[in-house]
């Protein structure tokens, strides 16, 4: 089945899990790569990987020795992600709240970047808060958390733990998305 059709079907079936009717544009992917500083990262976590368009863009940007842990809750999307043939990619089908446990399962160090496409505006606030806490705890000092979103809810949830962050818009995407970036300060 065409990935775009599967993406649309899963959006209709699970609008709380899938953030858009189509996968991310290449313009959004390149903005995320830059904001997350992926070209120099050794460990990156992707939350809400979808059908793998962003995953492949991240792999294209990452150094040869890097690892990318893609966490996806949708089993159909996990199946597609596992088709990507790259030894740097680890696909985990599960929830983002268990980020630290998942990283420990695969023996990964604190990531320099965590990227999220999870639709924070469509999930329960308590779930969103627990995901942000997991990200803030797991992220390396100086590491970046980048979230691309339809709404500003992620900024409200992240502000108490990560500060105000930076904000921009990616208009060359359907729909246009807000792109947020935080850098984890030393304690």
pLDDT of res. 21:
47
pLDDT of res. 6:
56
Inter-residue contact 186 to 160 (CB < 8 Å): no
Structural domain span for residue 158: 24-183
Judged by DSSP in three states, 70 sits in strand
In a domain, residue 8? The reply is no
Q: How many CA atoms lie within 13 A of 94 on its CB side?
A: 14
pLDDT of res. 22:
62
pLDDT of res. 50:
87
In a domain, residue 7? The reply is no
pLDDT in tens, 96-127: 999 999 999 999 999 999 999 999 988 999 99
In a domain, residue 109? The reply is yes
In a domain, residue 116? The reply is yes
Strands 89-93 and 113-116: unpaired
CATH of the domain at 75: 3.40.50.150
In a domain, residue 69? The reply is yes
In a domain, residue 72? The reply is yes
How many domains are contained in the chain?
A: 1
Report pTM. Answer: 0.89
Positions in the chain whose pLDDT score sits under 70: 1-22
In a domain, residue 90? The reply is yes
């Amino acid at each position: 089945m065409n990935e775009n059709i599967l993406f649309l079907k899963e959006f209709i079936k699970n609008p709380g899990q899938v953030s858009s009717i189509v996968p991310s544009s290449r313009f959004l992917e390149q903005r995320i790569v830059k904001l997350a500083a992926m070209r120099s990262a050794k460990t990156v976590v992707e939350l809400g990987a979808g059908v793998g368009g962003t995953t492949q863009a991240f792999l294209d940007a990452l150094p040869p020795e890097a690892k990318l842990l893609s966490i996806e809750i949708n089993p159909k999307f996990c199946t597609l992600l596992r088709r990507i043939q790259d030894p740097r990619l680890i696909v985990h089908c599960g929830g983002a709240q268990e980020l630290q446990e998942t990283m420990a399962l695969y023996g990964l160090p604190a990531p320099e970047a965590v990227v999220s496409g999870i639709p924070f505006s469509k999930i329960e606030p308590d779930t969103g808060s627990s995901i942000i806490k997991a990200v803030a705890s797991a992220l390396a000092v100086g590491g970046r958390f980048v979230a691309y979103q339809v709404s500003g809810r992620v900024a409200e949830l992240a502000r108490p733990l990560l500060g105000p962050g930076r904000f921009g818009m990616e208009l060359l995407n359907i729909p246009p998305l807000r792109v947020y970036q935080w850098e984890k300060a030393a304690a």
